[in-house]
Structure formats: C-alpha cells, structure tokens
Structure 1
Amino acid sequence: MSTPFYVSPEQMMKDRADFARKGIARGRSVVVVQYADGVLFASENPSQALHKVSEIYDRIAFAAVGRYNEFENLRIAGVRLADMRGYSYDRRDVTGRGLANAYAQTLGTIFSAAGEKPYEVELFVAEVGDVASEDQLYRLTYDGQVADEHDFAVMGGAAEVVAAHLEENFVQGCTLEAAVRLAVAALGHSEQGDRTIGVDDLEVAVLDRTRAQMRKFYRLRGARLSELLLPTVADPTPRGSAVDSEAGSDTAPAPDTDL
C-alpha cells in the first residue's frame, strides 16, 4: 500500500498565499486618497461597464483589484448586507467597519477552506464622515486580514512603486483637484518612467461629504475629469457627462477577467 502524499499545513498556507498574490499582482493598481472633503478612488480601467469602484451604501464605497467575478460577488453580497441591515434597524447602523468585518470573515473562511481555492482579490472599504477625522478606510487582503489605512493607500499591480510616489507627494488636507492629479500621476509612475493615462482609460470616483444628497458617492467622468486633470492629462474627445452617479448596472464578464 502506497504512503499518502503529505503536505504540511504551513506549506499549504504558503502555497495558497503565493497563488492569491500572483493573481492580484496581475491586476491594475487601485489608489485611494483622502482629501479635504472626502475620499477619492482612482484606477486605470479602460472598461466602461466593468467597474472596480462602486457604491455600497449612503456613505460607503468599495474598491477591488484582482479577479472580477470574485470581487463582484463580494460587492453584491455587501450591498445586500447593507440594505438588509439598514432596512431592519436604522440606516445609521450600516457602517464601514461592520462591512469590513463581514468581508474579513468571508475571505478568511474561503482562504482556510481546503476544498476550494482562495479568492484572488484585495478590497478597500471606505466610509466618509461628517468631518475628515471621522473618515474610515479599511484594506482587506485575500486571507481576511484587515488594516486601517490613513491618508492614502494602494493595492494591486506595482503597488510598492505607486505607494512610494504617493508617500513622496501626498499633502494632507489637499483639494479634490490636487488629489485627482496625485492619484493619476501615481498610477502612471513606474520604474521604467512616467506615462500619461488618458481620461477614457481612468475610473475615478469620490465619497464627497459636502454633497447635499444622502448618497455621497459619485463618479468623475468626461469633461469634469479632464478639467480636474489639466494640464496633466489632455483628452481632445472626452465622453460621458460631467458627473455621473452610480447606476448599479452589472455586466457579466468572462470568468477569468483580471482588473
């Protein structure tokens, strides 16, 4: 009788972590920057239908990098959880911290389950407060770990290079215009040299505490985004409206799409 093949738990967890990290590194970076009036999200994403940044609830937004079908499942679950909690109790009971904890439990369970592969995703969950000191930003990794971030954060792609550019140029309490320019410049920064990312290849959204509506999330597109980026980015044919709110439209991608 042959001896069963044995892999130590430590080696198994290392292999699963390496697998997840490689999948995440294939995606394009997502940058989050806190500015005077809220929280900015930016990523290089040429797709107009498959969003990496989305609204979850009134003051809460979600950003992800990695395998699209996996983080889209997590986004939908987060929306359902937030809606159910807000409907059953009170809208104020829906918090970024509670949502981050729920995601951490889900990711941790999937990562440690021997019968299925780990999710190749990393997430940001952000909540904007009435003042800057009340803003919350959480980063969740593929294995369910949660980190409380401040000022700025980056995940996916060449995260270390992008983060180094942010650390060198970030100014606390900056304007929206400065935050957009910083985030886009960081996304275009690499060890091989800087490049300019066109407006149509960017996905940019904000949680704006000064917005009169209950929903603080909106997207920056077209002419409005071009205006904020000038003279850093010039796009002669911007498309889309100046400011578009989250439409909530989902398009089913190929299962192996990495964003």
Structure 2
Amino acid sequence: MSMPFYVSPEQLMKDRADFARKGIARGRSVAVVRYADGLLFASENPSAALHKVSEIYDRIAFAAVGRYNEFENLRIAGVRLADMRGYSYDRRDVTGRGLANAYAQTLGTIFSSGGEKPYEIEIFVAEVGDRPEDDQVFRLTFDGQVVEEHDYAVMGGAAESVTTFLKERYAGGLTRDEALRLVVAALGHNDSGDRTVSPEDLEVAVLDRTRTQERKFRRLLPAVLRDVLGDVLGAGETPAGAATGADDAAPPTRTDPSVSPGEEPPVAP
C-alpha cells in the first residue's frame, strides 16, 4: 500500500504565499501619497480601459495591483456593499475601515481555503477626511492582513526602490502638484537608474477634500499631467506616445459647469 501524499500546513501556506507574491511582483507599482488637501494615487498604466485606481463611494477610493479580473471582482463587490449600506442606513455609515475589514475577511478566506488558488493582488482602501489627520489609508495583502499606512505607501512591481525614494524625499504639507512630481519621479526610479515616465503612461487620481461636491474622487487627465510635469520632462521634450499638433494644446470640451478643467466628469460607480 502506497503512502498518501502529505504536505504540512506550514509548507502549504508558504507555497501559496510565494505563488501570490510572484504574481503581484510582475505588475507595475501603485503609490499613494498624502498631500495638504487630500490623497494622491499614481501608477504607470498605459491602458485607457483598465483602471488600477477607482472610486468606491463619496470619500473612498480603491487601488490595486496584480491580476485585473480578481481585483475588479472585489472592487465591484465593494461598490455594491457601500451602496447597500449607505441606502439602508446612512451615507456616513460607509467608511474606509468597514470596507477594508470586509475585504480582509474575503481575502483571508480565499487564501486559507485549499479549494482555490490565492488571489494574486494587493489593495489600497483610502478615505479622505475633513482634516488631514482624519485621512486613512489601509493596505490589504493577498492573505487578508490589514495595515494602516501613513504619509505614503507603495505596492506591486519595484515597491522597495519606490518606497526608498519616497522615504528619502517625502515631506509633509506638499501641494498636489509637488506630490505628483514626487511620486512620478519615484515610479521612474529603480536600481539600474532613473527614467522619465510619460504622462500618457500614467494613471493619476486624487481624493480632494476641497471639492464642494460630496464625491471627492477625480482623475487627472493627461493634459493636466503634461502641464504639471512639463518642467520635469524638460523644455521641448515630447512625451513618448503624445500627439503633436494644434489640437494637443486645446483644453478638453466640458459640458458640466461643476467640473474643473482637466477633470473627468463624475460617473456613478
């Protein structure tokens, strides 16, 4: 009689963790930075259709790295949970902490289950408050662990080198534009040298507490990124993939007077 195949629980969990980490490391980094008026998210993401950073609720944003189909399923579930809770009780009952706890339970259950592979994702759940000290950023790992981050945080890709860059240069009280320049420079930093990341290859969004609307989330479009990062790119340098012509400098057409130049009109999650 042959001996049954046996793997110790410790080895099984280690193998599942290594599998998830390798999948996450293959992606590109996502960084979040606190600035004076809110929270800024940035990632190198040339796709215009697949977003790594999205809105969950009025003051809450979601960012993720790893397998798109897996974190998109969680994002949709979070939107449904937030809408249901806000409708059933009160919009103030929808909090970043509550959503982070719900995600942690889901990720922890999937990771410890032997019936399916672990999710190859990491997540930020962030909530902007009325004051800077009320801002909250929660980082969730593939196994359901929750860590509250302060000032800045990075996940996925070359997270170590980007984090080191931010640690050496970050200072409190940054303006939005200063935070944007800092985080873009950090995303272009690696052990082999620094490179310039084109605005067209960036996905940038903010939770801006100064907005008069209840919904504080908005995306920064490439036209705004070019304006802010122009001195970083260098005079006369054309970002890779950028169009050349008179229309390139024209501001986007706006039909909603509540939307400032360079913003995306709000879309219901």
User: Which residues in structure 2 correspond to 1:1-259 (within 5 Å)?
Assistant: 1-233=1-233, 235=239, 237=243, 241=252, 242-247=262-267
Question: Residue 143 of structure 1: SS of its match in structure 2?
Answer: coil
Q: 1:20–1:248: structure 2 CA closer, same or farther, 3 Å change rule?
A: farther
Greater CA drift, 208-217 or 227-236: 227-236
Larger Rg: 2
Post-superposition offset of 1:246: 4.9
Per-residue Cα deviation, 1:118-143 (whole angstroms, up to 9, x for no partner): 00000000000000000000000000
Q: Deviations over 1:178-224 (max 9, x none)?
A: 00001100000011110001111000000000001110000001221
In the alignment, which residue of structure 2 is the partner of 1:254? none
Paired residue type of 2:170: F
- Whole-Å separation in 2 of the counterparts to 1:223 and 1:155: 26
Counterpart Cα distance in 2 of 1:90 and 1:142? 30
Alpha-carbon distance, 1:247 to partner: 3.6
Query: Cα deviation per residue 1:77-118 (whole Å; 9 max; x = unaligned)?
Result: 000000000000000000000000000000000000000000
**2-side partners of 1:227 and 1:134: how far apart?**
30
Q: Distance in 2 between matches of 1:247 and 1:167?
A: 34
The number of residue pairs the alignment matches comes to: 249
Secondary structure at 1:207's aligned position in 2? strand
- Please tell me whether the aligned partners of residues 33 and 41 of structure 1 are also in contact (alpha carbons under 8 angstroms): yes
State the alpha-carbon separation in 2 of the partners of residues 203 and 161 from structure 1. Answer: 20
- Decide whether the 8 Å contact of 1:54 with 1:246 is kept in 2: no
Query: Structure 1 residue runs of 4+, over 2 Å off?
Result: 233-241, 245-249
Q: Which runs of 5+ in 2 are unaligned?
A: 253-261
Contact persistence 1:217–1:245 (CA under 8 A): no
- Alpha-carbon shift at residue 248 of structure 1 (Å): 5.9
Contact between 1:138 and 1:148, CA under 8 Å: does it hold in 2?
yes
CA distance in 1, matches of 2:265, 2:96: 20
Letter matched to residue 145 of structure 1: Q
Q: What are structure 1's unaligned runs of at least 5 residues?
A: 250-259
CA distance in 2, matches of 1:167, 1:40: 16
| TM-score, normalising length: structure 1 | 0.93
- Residues 246 and 108 of structure 1: is their aligned pair in 2 closer, same or farther, counting only changes over 3 Å? farther
Which amino acid in 2 is paired with 1:114?
G
- Name the aligned partner's letter for residue 244 of structure 1: E
Give, in whole Å, the separation in 2 of the partners of 1:80 and 1:43: 25
Which structure would you say has the larger RCO, counting Cα contacts within 8 Å and 6 or more residues apart?
1
> 3-state DSSP class of the match of 1:46?
coil
Q: Which whole-Å CA distance do the structure 1 matches of 2:268 and 2:223 have between them?
A: 22
**Are the counterparts in 2 of residues 32 and 40 from structure 1 also a CA contact under 8 Å?**
yes
Spell out, residue by residue over 1:230-251, the C-alpha distance to the aligned partner (whole angstroms, 9 max, x if none).
Answer: 21135463698421145468xx
Per the alignment, in what secondary structure is the counterpart of residue 62 of structure 1?
A: strand
Distance in 1 separating the partners of 2:21 and 2:104: 17
What does the per-residue CA deviation read over 1:20-65, in whole Å, with 9 as the maximum and x for residues that have no partner? 0000000000000000000000000000000000000000000000
Shift of 1:6: 0.2
- Alignment RMSD: 1.4
